Each structure stands twice: as structure tokens, then as C-alpha cells.
Amino acid sequence: MTATLDLARALIARRSLTPDDAGCQEILIERLEKLGFRIEKMRFSNVDNFWARRGTASPVIVFAGHTDVVPSGPIDQWVSPPFEPTIRDGMLYGRGSADMKTSIAAFIVALEEFLANNPDHPGSIALLITSDEEGVAVDGTVKVVEALQARGELLDYCIVGEPTSNKKVGDMIKNGRRGSLSGTLIVKGIQGHIAYPHLVKNPIHMVAPAVAELATTEWDKGNEYFPPTSWQISNFNSGTGATNVVPGHVEILFNFRFSTASTEQSLKDRVHAILDKHGLEYDLEWELSGKPYLTPKGSLVAAISAAIEEAYGVTPELSTSGGTSDGRFIADICPQVIEFGPLNATIHKLNECVGVADIDPLKDTYRLTLEKLLK
């Protein structure tokens, strides 16, 4: 048993189904207060968040993460209960072990070790912890960032403890994420009897050429860090259930995962132009759930890459793959945001787990990064 493993187990034992923190944050706050952090609890709606900071000078290094977890799924299909942390065959099992309570435990112990050796460190260290990352994510990190932004509090570096590793811990850092832009498109026609085609306007037939063009359009070529932007249909619904009725409308749900080579507005404008070109009568509602962000190679990437090599003996790859994360909000007030954490192979799955042997090197990675940035 190590200090990091012990704390990870204590957090996993809390049934913190999003957005319920279930007391995880109080465990963290108690330890941070002993280290001299000033704690601000920020509760929005039914979501618990806190901002902790030690120091007033720059640079400001932030560790960000979430205490909430996704539901366990069928408990009888877990080898051991999801909220009873269990070590078996060198693995620590439990919901949230990989995503991302082990990372949070590693944050805290890394800070304790760093401050024991560097009590008068330059700059500032902070933590941004939410219980709303796995849910709708509207009263968590985004609200804390808005509060910090409103008072002019800017950050220099941020490490998000998301499980980024692919085949072995340390092999991948996320230095950005694609944006996510969704659309709900309703194309209108005229319903009628299928035997009287001159009296109807079939919206499925009408929208088909536009769909073909949208599906084959090159939205951008991507760049050094991002693949080309992708447009995908997730749902296509129409019809009355009868075989002899032409429907009156068709509803299409689609999504862009877009890179920094495109903007929200440029994508919207091009979609509308294609739909208008095909003479469609339609309604289109948009929802932006995340902007793309990118941290190019620089001081933060260099520091954590060197720390990973020292702790794990692995040279990490930079990647922007995967879904969205709270890094998209933090990037509004922080020019350098990266994500690094355990293997992502079991996240959100039954029998989620992390390797026990990987836990202390994760703590060491975070501590070494602090040492390299706060010289």
C-alpha cells in the first residue's frame, strides 16, 4: 500500500454517480488545506466544484479533474462490487479507478511530496475539481472557468488527469481535442398517398442529393495535430409506419467533429449553402458542445514529456483523438492545456481497472512536471 493507492481506494469507495460527489471533494479539501491551499467551494445548481490555489504569483499551474463517475451497469456482471476497490492480479478494480480517481489521488500526493521539498516554490499551484464532467457538464468546470474569467484570473499551464494512455501508460498525451458541433435538420415535404406522386413532395427524395454532397464534402484538410473535419449522420428518421404514405418531413441528426482548421461559423455557413443550393424547405437547429483547442509543442508539453520518460521510461506521442473533455473550457483562460493519465482501455466498462504498478509512476509524473516548471 502506498499513499497514492490508499487515497485512490478511498475515493473509489465513494459512490459518486454524476453529478453526486458523495464526499470525495471533502477528502481532497482536508488534505489541501493542510498544505496551505485557499479553498473556494463553488456549487452551481446541484453540482459541487472547488477551486484551490496556493500562491499569488505566476506562473500558475493547475491540475484539473472530476470526482463523478458513470453508472456501474449490471452489478452482477462485475467480478467484485464496483464501489468496493479490490486489488486482484496486480490490478485495482472499481468504478472510477481509471476515469479518473486514480489521477486525482496522484495529484494530491504529488503536491504533498513536492511541497515537502519545495515549501517556498515560485509561482502558484491550483486545482479545479468538478463533479459534473460525466453528465451534462453545464454546472461544472465551465461555470468555474467563467467565475475565474470574470475576475481576471488567468492560468499558465493546466494538466487534466483524463485517462489518455493507449497501449501502455505514458504512450500518449492529449494536447488538444476536436470540437463537436451538432445539427437537427428537418426537411419539409408534402404528405400524401404514395399512388398519387403528383400530389406529394417526398422529403426523403428531396434531401438525398444534399446528403450525398454533405457526406462527400471536404470540410478541411486538418493540420499537423488534427485529422480532417468529419461530418456524420447519427439518426435519419421519417415515415408514418404505413407502406402507402409519403411522409411529410424527414429529421436528420448529424455531427461535426472539427479541427482548428475550421470554425463553428464556417461549418454552419457551408451547410446552409448546400441545403439552399438544393432548394430545400427546412429548419436547422445547431448545438455547439465543445470548441476545438490545441496546445502546440512548448514548455508544458516538453516538461510532462520529460517527466513521463523519467517515471515510465516511455516516450509519449501527442494526440488530439477521442471525444471532448473539460480541457475545452479551461483553454479559454489557459494557453497551454494537456491531458495525461492512465490507460483508457476499461473506462466506462464493466470491471474498470488500473495497474497497481502504474499508480505511483503517475504521481511521480505529476510531481516531476511541477519540478520542471517551477524551477
Active site residue 133: yes
Known binding residue 348? Answer is yes
Rounded to whole angstroms, how far apart are CA atoms 339 and 247? 47
Closest by CA to 185, choosing from 272, 259, 248, 257, is 272
Instruction: Determine which one of 20, 132, 133, 339 is catalytic.
Output: 133
Residue 66, annotated ligand binder?
yes
Alpha helices, DSSP H only, in 65-140?
Answer: 102-117
Cell digits of residue 232: 456524420
134 is in an annotated binding site: yes
Residues 158 and 330: beta-carbon distance below 8 Å: yes
Cβ within 8 Å of residue 6, ≥6 positions away: none
- Residue 40 labeled ligand binder: no
Q: How far apart are CA 320 and CA 308, in angstroms?
A: 18
Indicate the angle between helix axes 3-12 and 24-34, nearest 10 degrees: 150
Q: Is 68 a catalytic residue?
A: yes
Per-residue cell: 22: 458523495
H helix intervals, the chain = 3-12, 24-34, 102-117, 141-150, 203-216, 264-277, 299-312, 327-330, 359-373
310 is in an annotated binding site: no
Identify the active-site residue in 20, 21, 68, 113. Answer: 68
If residue 289 lies in a helix (H) or strand (E), which one and from where to where?
strand 282-290
d(CA 12, CA 19): 15
Given a contact cutoff of 8 angstroms between Cβ atoms, the answer to whether 85 and 94 are in contact is: yes
For residue 323, which phi and psi values (nearest 5 degrees)? -85, -155
Could you tell me the three cell numbers for 372? 520542471
Q: Contact 234/279 with Cβ under 8 angstroms?
A: no
Looking up cell 453545464 gives 138
C-alpha cell at 171: 504512450
Q: At a CB cut-off of 8 Å and minimum separation 6, what does 227 contact?
A: 259, 321
Beta-bridge partners for 282: 187
| Residues with catalytic roles | 68, 133
Binding-site residue ranges for Zn(2+): 66, 99, 134, 162, 348
Binding residues are 66, 99, 134, 162, 348
